[in-house]
Amino acid sequence: MQELLVALDVNSRDQALWLADRLRGTVGGFKIGSRLFTTEGPSLVAALADRGDRIFLDLKYHDIPTVVAEAVRAAGRLGTWMLTVHTAGGQAMLSAAAEAAGGLERPPHVVGVTVLTSFDEAELNRVGVSRALGEQVESLAALAVASGLDGIVASPRELGPLRQRLGPGPLIVTPGIRGGAAGVSGGDDQRRTLGPAEALDAGASYLVVGRPIIAAADPLAAAQTIAAACQTGGR
C-alpha cells in the first residue's frame, strides 16, 4: 500500500528499526518527526534510506530562506524522499526550499504544512488568525503551490475544497487518519480526522498513520487492516 506512510513516533533507533523491518513491504514509507530525529539524528534517516525505505522527514522547516534552503539540501543528501516546510514562512522561504530541492541529484518532494491538525477554529483565533480555518488552509495551500512546492500537508476535513481549488496535480499528505485498526483508540490531540478510505476518496495522495499502527499489539496486523480498509473506497 504505497499511499500508507507510518509515523515512527518512538523513542529510539532500535524501536524504529524494529517497526520498519516488520512493516516494510506492507506500507509505502516511514515518517520521522521531531521526536525521533532529536533523539537519533540524521544517521537513522540515512540508515533507513540505505535499506530502500522512502523517508518522509517531517521537521517543518520555518526560518529565513537561506537557512531553510541549506536544511533542504542537507535532508536531500541523507536520502530523504519527502520533507516538510511550514507555509507560514512565506513565499520567499517556500520558493527557496523548492529551488534547493530541485538542484539536488535526487530531489525530495517538498510539501508545505498548512494548519496543524491539532487546531480548531478557536485555537486559530487565539494565535491571531481571524479568517475561518478552511479559508486559512486554502490560502496557505495556494501559496505553497504557487511558490513551487510539490504539495501540502492538510487534515482530511479540508481535502474536498483543496482538490477543487488546486486540481489533481499537487500532492496532499494527510495526517489525522483514524479507524481501520482494532484495539487502538484515537486518544490524542488530533481534532480534524477521517478514516483511510474516506481520505483517499476525498483526494489525499498519502496517508500518515501513527498510533493506530505503532501502538497496536501487532503493528503488522494493524497496518494490514488499514491497508485493506484503504481498498474499500470508491476511487
What does the alpha-carbon distance between residue 91 and residue 210 come to, in Å, rounded to a whole number?
30
Domains in the chain, number:
1
Number of H helices, E strands in the chain: 11, 8
What is the domain extent for residue 98?
A: 4-230
Query: Is 215 part of any domain?
Result: yes
Query: Is 235 part of any domain?
Result: no
User: Mind listing the pLDDT tens digit for each residue in 43-85?
Assistant: 999 999 999 999 999 999 999 999 999 999 999 999 999 999 9
Query: Is 63 part of any domain?
Result: yes
Q: Which of 60, 178, 192, 211 is catalytic?
A: 60
pTM higher than the cut 0.85: yes
| Known active-site residue 60 | yes
User: Mind listing the pLDDT tens digit for each residue in 196-227?
Assistant: 888 898 899 999 999 999 999 999 999 999 99
The CATH code of the domain that includes 86 is 3.20.20.70
The reported pLDDT for the residue numbered 196 is: 86
Query: Is 191 part of any domain?
Result: yes
The reported pLDDT for the residue numbered 84 is: 98
How far apart are the two ends of the chain, measured CA to CA in Å? Answer: 14
Taking the mean position of all CA atoms in its chain, how far away is CA 108? 13
Give me the phi and psi of 147, to 5 degrees please: -85, 0
Query: Is 111 part of any domain?
Result: yes
Residue with cell 516538510: 84
